[in-house]
A and B are shown apart, each in its own frame.
Chain A
Amino acid sequence: MSAGSIGTVRPRSDARAKVTGTAVYTADVIPDDPLAGVVLRSPHAFARILSVDTARAAAMPGVRAVVYSGNVPAKPLDFGIKDQHLFPIDFARYRGEPVAAVAADTETQARAAAKAIDIVYEVMDPVTNIEQALAPGAQLVHPAWKSYEHSGERILRENVCAVNRIRRGDVDAALANAAVVVTSRFTFSGGLPGYLEPRAAVAQAGPDGTLTVWCGSQAPYSNRTEMAEFFELAPAKVRFINQFVGGAFGGKILMAPEWFAAALALRCDRPVRMAWSRHEDNLNAAPRHGGTATFTSCADADGTLRAMRASFAFDTGAYIGYGGGSALIATMLASAPYRIPNLDLEATLVYTNKQVAGPVRAPGGPQANFAKELHLDEIARKLGIDPLEFRLKNAWREGDESPSGQRLTSVSVVDVLQKAADAIGWDKPRASGSGRGIGATWWFSSCGLSEARVEVLTDGRVRVISGNPEIGTGSAAQALPIIVADALGIDPLGVEVVLADTGDSAEDGGVHGSTSTFSAGQAAGAAAAEARARLLDRAESLLEARHDDLDVRDGCVYVVGAPDSKATFAQLAAHGDEPVIGRGTAPEMGDPEIDNDLVQAHGFAAWPAASFTATAAEVTVDKETGRVDVLHIATAQDVGFAFNPAGVTGQIEGGAVQGLGWALTEGLVYDGAVLRDPDFKHYLLPTAVDAPRITAMIVECPSVEGPRGMKGVGEPPVTTPAAAIGNAIRDACGAVPHDTPMTPERVWRALQK
């Protein structure tokens, strides 16, 4: 029997710590006698490194270690293509790139020493944008690119580190015979993840070859393994202890200060603490990819879509990093979730001399959906068909095929579109100056490696140990207690959550790909079921009853029909030589079959437990100034099954406002290759005044693959708001910029055309 906590709204287990200021984040970890670690960054966007001399810096007062390319392992990091070293050897490739680091007794001493590191640069003209990078004879960001090792069938060429393609049918023939053909071009700004907690790390090396890193990572286990391999340490001797994480949004998957604090600590006998300023953090923030897109599509006079050609170019910056996902995903979203029989979809990842773009929440999603949905509205308008009706007509239905030939199941596109539209009153008369827009998407679920333990302690407490980091979503702090409590018949607030610590041996692939509750939730559920079984085993002996005659609730095991015959969890935990422990592992989830003939150089074309999401927006536009006010965002998200509805609502609401920010105000503005504002002065994250009313609607169309039919939750709701807002702007005033952010100036200019 279950306590029924699954699917109910419960407070977070970490809420009290967070409202009282006792929750510990990495910058709050103050070890005994710490050294201050600082990073020296390249002042140039592109420069050949002729020499590095650290002797003067190393001799300065208080300095305990200086690390640079000459005294750390020379092997490249591996992101599918080996194009990057811990510190650059031949060229510094973006302004702000870490080129050395210093540990000293005080931060003032460390900064003085960093300035004293003598690096001789030969300054070069940077490659500042995609157009320049792809021009014939362009300067190469990586002159030695042909010699780089890479995995798989990767398409490389000058200043290009990936090209992904999906093709089906005959696009040219369809375009030649079409009733209407529309071409649309778009540019997207890069965007910061915008987590409020700047990155920090503390590292300490032990005399016995151990290395401990206190951090706020999305993936401490894989970070641990990567760090151990890089410094050739035994993985068992490297321990990553995750703290509370002050937001991450994809920006804290890859190590950053962790690398430099560790490199320094391995040369010191004291712990090294490194806390980046916001300014430093924004120079290294792994932002969302900026880029361009061109769409050409055609339809019949009745609105039936026939063909689409879409081409994306994404600016990866100086290295590939974890940037490949944006291009892969963009090709999967370009035509979806709509029936289009003839497709030619391509995405190219381009090197420039900017900071390395990264896998920001739903990489490629907002960009692809903004372009696709604005483009589709242009076709609908040309045909004189209502945008909602046009989408409903072409929407995927059960059993349709994805662009890569995957047979789609539990398809809810029509449902989410209709719910989102209804929530903003799609058919009601529009007030002057106001407009409505809509957009839809699909997304994947992923089930990564995840292990969990559930322990019942001799004082009756229950705790869950999972390697899944708590980055704010509540996947660890809220969903896991709900799932564990459900199995054990207790209140979720009675379940203690132990934050991820690789020393605890509950391995987990980390927070990314909308995987957390999907994987860690299944591991914790299995662990709780086993803990329950162990409790019943002990109750059998203590209460002299059989499993079948026992019931678990309120922290006790009862004999059914004999309410006085019971044992508390504390008694049961103490009744035996060993603690009560249940262990669980997330099951493997296979990928759906695709048609491999349709994809080229594409490693991400099968999407299990696919989910569907639609967002509708209502805006007003001031035609005199171009000012846009978003009044209402309504998102209907099919999550298959909501284990933690409060968490889902939180993801939808937060995603709505992140999406709004990327749509309207958040732009990474570069002067050449130099980021103009590495603070939050001009990079405008939405405030409470900017945020609209949000209607979050949970749709449950159960997947075949997920636990209880669950589908991944975290990423989709950030991918559709910009599309809906853009279409609403055009609905309100007849014009819309094809560039993000859609600033008042751009809206005004679009109106003048």
Chain B
Amino acid sequence: MQPVHLCVNGLETDVEVHPLETLLHTLRDRIGLNGTKEGCGTGYCGACTVLVDGDAVNACLLLAVDADRKEVVTIEGLAGDAGALHPVQAAFVENGGLQCGFCTPGMILSAASLLAATPDPSDDEIRAGISGNLCRCTGYQSIVASVHDAARRLRESGRSGERPGPRAHIRSRA
């Protein structure tokens, strides 16, 4: 076992992990954050997408030891204090951007990452930005509409380009 220090959703977290354990299993099995889903375990479906230092990554493809001293945002860390939905989450609710919901946490984090870099994306940019996240239910049309609406909500609330996740706890890297 090996000690790993993570900042997960703004909380400094020390965990002991197996050297070959993925970040997905550390989040789910050791930290108890079950919002991150395992759809394939091999990087094809994107259901396990989390943000690591702001980048959307497949948690099933990243060893927990390689996330040491990094900042991780999961779906549980996206909503604000007092449960206020993040604009991307609110847009998915209002635009029907989900059905079974299993791809939704990863899809929302990919969309949030896309919008942080591209505040006013075109249809094609949205589709490319979420192309690593499979959805079997919706046919993607309502998801694309949700991301457009999320971009608008972020702009209107003055949060365009903001890095998603808790703002209180950006640490300096060692």
Closest chain-B Cβ to A215's Cβ sits at a distance in Å of 15
Residues of B contacting A17 in the complex (Cβ-Cβ under 8 angstroms) = 101
Contact of B93 among A9, A16, A685 (CB under 8 A): A16
Residues of A20-57 whose CB lies within 8 A of B: 20-25, 27-28
A289 at the interface (CB under 8 A from B): no
Residue of A nearest to B95 (CB): A11
A653 at the interface (CB under 8 A from B): yes
Residues of B94-146 whose CB lies within 8 A of A: 94, 96, 98-105, 108, 126-128, 130-144
B13 at the interface (CB under 8 A from A): no
Residues of A215-251 whose CB lies within 8 A of B: 244-249
Contact status A194-B136, CB under 8 Å: yes
| Complex Cα spacing A693 to B139, Å | 9
Contact status A246-B100, CB under 8 Å: yes
| Complex Cα spacing A306 to B170, Å | 74
Residue of B nearest to A659 (CB): B139
Closest chain-B Cβ to A674's Cβ sits at a distance in Å of 19
**Size range of the chain B interface in the assembly:** 35 or more
Contact status B138-A650, CB under 8 Å: yes
| Complex Cα spacing A348 to B15, Å | 57
Residue of A nearest to B83 (CB): A20
Residues of B15-41 whose CB lies within 8 A of A: 33-41
Q: Given A196-B47, A197-B102, decide whether A19 and B108 contact each other with a Cβ distance below 8 A.
A: yes
A212 at the interface (CB under 8 A from B): no
Contact status B41-A277, CB under 8 Å: yes
A646 at the interface (CB under 8 A from B): yes
| Complex Cα spacing A182 to B146, Å | 47
B75 at the interface (CB under 8 A from A): yes
Residues of B contacting A653 in the complex (Cβ-Cβ under 8 angstroms) = 138-142
Residues of B contacting A681 in the complex (Cβ-Cβ under 8 angstroms) = 42, 44
Residue of A nearest to B105 (CB): A21
**Residue interface mask A293-305, B partner, CB < 8 A = 1:** 0000000000000
Residues of B contacting A19 in the complex (Cβ-Cβ under 8 angstroms) = 75, 85, 89, 92-93, 98, 101, 104-105, 108
| Complex Cα spacing A545 to B42, Å | 65
Q: Size of chain A's interface in residues, with CB distance under 8 A? A: 54
| Complex Cα spacing A16 to B86, Å | 11
| Complex Cα spacing A689 to B132, Å | 10
| Complex Cα spacing A533 to B134, Å | 46
A680 at the interface (CB under 8 A from B): yes
Residue of A nearest to B129 (CB): A688
Closest chain-A Cβ to B114's Cβ sits at a distance in Å of 11
| Complex Cα spacing A196 to B105, Å | 12
B58 at the interface (CB under 8 A from A): no
A330 at the interface (CB under 8 A from B): no
Residues of A contacting B135 in the complex (Cβ-Cβ under 8 angstroms) = 196, 688
Residues of B contacting A12 in the complex (Cβ-Cβ under 8 angstroms) = 93, 96, 98
Contact of A473 among B47, B96, B99 (CB under 8 A): B99
Contact status A25-B131, CB under 8 Å: no
Closest chain-A Cβ to B13's Cβ sits at a distance in Å of 17
| Complex Cα spacing A711 to B136, Å | 24
Contact status B96-A650, CB under 8 Å: yes
A278 at the interface (CB under 8 A from B): yes
Closest chain-A Cβ to B73's Cβ sits at a distance in Å of 11
Most B-side CB within 10 Å, residue of A21, A657, A694? A21
| Complex Cα spacing A679 to B83, Å | 37
Residues of A contacting B138 in the complex (Cβ-Cβ under 8 angstroms) = 650, 653-654, 657
Contact status A278-B36, CB under 8 Å: no
Contact of B96 among A11, A244, A656 (CB under 8 A): A11
Residues of B contacting A18 in the complex (Cβ-Cβ under 8 angstroms) = 98, 101, 104
A474 at the interface (CB under 8 A from B): yes
Contact of B94 among A11, A22, A23, A195 (CB under 8 A): A11
Residue of B nearest to A244 (CB): B101
Contact of B101 among A23, A249, A655, A689 (CB under 8 A): A23
B79 at the interface (CB under 8 A from A): yes
Residue of B nearest to A20 (CB): B79
Contact status B38-A198, CB under 8 Å: yes
Residues of A contacting B136 in the complex (Cβ-Cβ under 8 angstroms) = 194-196, 247, 249, 654, 658, 685
| Complex Cα spacing A317 to B101, Å | 31
Residue of A nearest to B99 (CB): A472
Residue of B nearest to A14 (CB): B101
Contact status B34-A654, CB under 8 Å: no
A15 at the interface (CB under 8 A from B): yes
Residues of B contacting A25 in the complex (Cβ-Cβ under 8 angstroms) = 37, 102
Q: Given A278-B39, A653-B141, A681-B42, decide whether A21 and B93 contact each other with a Cβ distance below 8 A.
A: no
Residues of B contacting A658 in the complex (Cβ-Cβ under 8 angstroms) = 136, 139
| Complex Cα spacing A689 to B130, Å | 8
| Complex Cα spacing A14 to B170, Å | 32
Q: Given A653-B138, A656-B139, decide whether A196 and B45 contact each other with a Cβ distance below 8 A.
A: yes
A151 at the interface (CB under 8 A from B): no
Closest chain-B Cβ to A298's Cβ sits at a distance in Å of 38
Closest 6 CB pairs of A and B: A21-B35, A472-B100, A246-B102, A18-B101, A21-B75, A653-B139
* Beyond known contacts A649-B96, A688-B140, A694-B141: 14 more, CB 8 A cutoff: A12-B96, A16-B93, A18-B101, A20-B75, A24-B34, A196-B39, A196-B47, A196-B100, A198-B39, A244-B100, A679-B40, A688-B127, A688-B133, A688-B143
Q: Can you list 10 A-B contacts with CB-CB less than 8 angstroms, sorted by A residue number?
A: A9-B96, A11-B94, A15-B98, A19-B75, A27-B34, A247-B102, A473-B99, A473-B137, A474-B99, A654-B138
